[in-house]
Structure 1
Amino acid sequence: MSVKLLVTTVLLLLPYVHTFSVEKRVSKLLSWSKSENEAPTILGWCEERRLQDATELQVTVSCGDSEPLEVSIPIPTDENTLARTLWPSSLAAAILLRLPASEQLVKDRHILELGCGLGLAGIVTSSSAKSCCLTDHDEEIIQLLKNQNIPNIDVSYLEWRDEDRPNDIPPSDLVIGADIAYYFYLLRPLIDTTKAMLRPDNSAFMVVGQANRESQWDLYHNVRDGCYNQLTDEREAPWNGETRMLLYQLQMFKWQVDDDIALENQELDGTIPIAVMIHTSPGLENFAFTTFDHIATKNDKEGIMMSF
């Protein structure tokens, strides 16, 4: 091959090489800092990897000495759907559910993820759960997840406001959700759906959200303190068991292409306050993800600037 022909061939191939470059983003879950002088502890991290114009997202979830978990999940074609993105709370939930202590909630138990989106949190539980059902009302993501045929995963369409819920979902030992309590009007159907599907004993309800969202705190108070039910015009009692709000921080680094950039040299995109509303029924009291869990106080909430 002549030099001229070789150069021409390389130039023609350059656009295709660019198309297949890999983008990646790292996010680290940290303990909550009670003061500026307190250094946080890294609890775990996620790395997302995607080819430009790819139809799948590769995610690695790692916590401490545990074996890193590799997950491949489909990306919807609809660019306007909420299910197209791994939201910060999904990454935080995946890390928490991968921690060794989470086996108490997950191992050999029936798991239900509500509003699963790309389904990362539920998929993380599937390797040790008895069963895991991912649910959403986005029909495209439901079909994409079904096509994946992920071991030990069932996928079902579920609209919380429907009274006729699928009868093929078994009673759940753990109901999880990430970024599903972001508007107040979602709380009533979320509470009703969870009550209908969660076992009354030895079970848990876990919703991970951003701590700067008022509705995440509203959900916490509705479960812990009881709430008014506008559908029945009655006051509901607090849920039986223990309800806590746990606080963490999620450091998210910017998407980057250069694999040679070490993590300590990557550019930080931002740090997001993460709140985990966890209710444990009788039989699972005093559950803790780590020794660094911070139980939120009134002062913590007042010190967080709410976005909406």
Structure 2
Amino acid sequence: MSVKLLVTTVLLLLSYVHTFAVEKRVSKLLSWSNSENEAPTILGWCEERRLQDARELQVTVSCDDSEPLEVSIPIPTDENSLARTLWPSSLAAAILLRSPASKQLIKDKHVLELGCGLGLAGIVASSSAKSCCLTDHDEEIIQLLKNQNIPNINARYLEWRDEDRPDDIPSCDLVIGADIAYYFYLLRPLMDTAKDMLRSDNSAFMVVGQANRESQWDLYHNIRDGCYNQLTDEREAPWNGETRMLLYQLQMFKWQVDDDPSFETLDGTIPIAVMLHTSPDLEKFTFTTFDHIATKNDEEGIMMSF
């Protein structure tokens, strides 16, 4: 074999191997830091792995030294679908739902995830829950999730803005959502849907979103302080129970190929806010020193994007 032919063959083989190389992305959940001098603590991490042109995404999630959870989730074929991406809030939600406090909140409960997308948060929750129903208005992802046949998970189509909600979605003890309060016009159907789906007692509502989005804070204030209801043209009372906003940071790294030496290249750090409402009769959620409960100063100090 000539040298030229040998070089060409090697290049083709390398190209073939690279085409099927595994790409990875690591995200780390950090405690909230109010100053540059305050070093944040790593609370948990999430690693995504994918093959180019693959139809599945492999994800490993761990929090607070908990045993890592391996998850395999399908990827929709529609490249324009919002459900095709694991958004930062979904990664943060997955990590938080592996925490000891969250697992205690979820244990033996019936969980409903709204706007599940790829379903990562709900699948993680299902590892501790009695059952978990994943809902979205993307019909392809719902069918893909059904095909997964995970024992205590079912997937259902749900559009929040529909007045008549499907009868086959049962009431639940906990409603969760990640990056679902990103526009103000979604808040009313989101609140109404959650209220309709939650049991009257021993229930909780958790929405994880970016802390620099005004709509995430609007949701928090609507539930904690009450709000004007456009449908009834009346002032609506605060929800009965306790409503808090918890703050964290998500440190995200760029997608890297396995053998890339620059694996620790930072892509960005995103402020994360968790709106948590618990009914009066629910056992108190166990906060740690790393679960920063937001203050008015915190809210005013965050530069909002939209």
Q: TM exceeds 0.5?
A: yes
- The alignment partner of 2:16 has SS state of helix
Q: Which amino acid aligns with 2:126?
A: S
Counterpart CA distance in 2 for 1:32 and 1:12 is 48
- 1:153 aligned residue: 153
- 2:266 aligned residue: 268
Contact preservation (8 Å) 2:44, 2:65: no
| Shift in Å, 1:11 | 4.0
Contact preservation (8 Å) 1:132, 1:153: yes
Is structure 2 residue 278 aligned with structure 1 residue 280? yes
- 2:292 aligned residue: 294
Question: Residues 159-238 of structure 1: matches in 2 within 5 Å?
Answer: 159-238=159-238
- The alignment partner of 1:71 has SS state of strand
Contact preservation (8 Å) 1:63, 1:98: yes
| Shift in Å, 1:65 | 2.4
| 277-286 or 79-88: bigger deviation | 277-286
- Normalising by structure 1, we get a TM-score of 0.95
* Residues 1:285 and 1:237: Cα distance change in structure 2 (over 3 Å): farther
| Shift in Å, 1:169 | 1.8
| 59-68 or 245-254: bigger deviation | 59-68
Counterpart CA distance in 1 for 2:27 and 2:292 is 20
How well do the aligned residues superpose, as a CA RMSD in angstroms? 1.6
Counterpart CA distance in 1 for 2:156 and 2:185 is 23
Counterpart CA distance in 1 for 2:108 and 2:260 is 40
| 278-287 or 192-201: bigger deviation | 278-287
Structure 1 residue runs of 5 or longer lacking an equivalent are none
Is structure 2 residue 50 aligned with structure 1 residue 55? no
Contact preservation (8 Å) 1:102, 1:289: no
- The alignment partner of 1:65 has SS state of coil
Q: Which amino acid aligns with 1:295?
A: I
Q: Deviations over 1:125-157 (max 9, x none)?
A: 112211000000011111111111122110000
Q: Deviations over 1:184-203 (max 9, x none)?
A: 00000001100100012111
- 2:245 aligned residue: 245
Contact preservation (8 Å) 1:111, 1:131: yes
| Shift in Å, 1:6 | 6.2
Contact preservation (8 Å) 1:33, 1:39: yes
- The alignment partner of 1:79 has SS state of coil
Q: Which amino acid aligns with 2:86?
A: L
Counterpart CA distance in 2 for 1:92 and 1:198 is 23
| Shift in Å, 1:64 | 2.7
| Shift in Å, 1:297 | 0.9
| 284-293 or 101-110: bigger deviation | 284-293
Counterpart CA distance in 2 for 1:236 and 1:109 is 28
Question: Residues 50-129 of structure 1: matches in 2 within 5 Å?
Answer: 50-129=50-129
Contact preservation (8 Å) 1:242, 1:285: no
Counterpart CA distance in 2 for 1:202 and 1:156 is 24
Q: Which amino acid aligns with 2:51?
A: L
| Shift in Å, 1:78 | 1.1
- The alignment partner of 2:177 has SS state of strand
Contact preservation (8 Å) 2:21, 2:258: no
Q: What is the percentage of aligned positions where both structures have the same residue?
A: 88
Q: Deviations over 1:29-55 (max 9, x none)?
A: 011012221111111000001011111
- 1:44 aligned residue: 44
Contact preservation (8 Å) 1:96, 1:289: no
Counterpart CA distance in 2 for 1:169 and 1:105 is 21
Aligned length: 305
Counterpart CA distance in 1 for 2:230 and 2:297 is 30
| Shift in Å, 1:283 | 2.4
| Shift in Å, 1:260 | 6.2
Contact preservation (8 Å) 1:90, 1:178: yes
Counterpart CA distance in 1 for 2:259 and 2:277 is 41
Moved over 2 A (4+): 2-16, 258-262, 283-286, 288-291
Structure 2 residue runs of 5 or longer lacking an equivalent are none
| Shift in Å, 1:13 | 3.3
Counterpart CA distance in 2 for 1:12 and 1:271 is 38
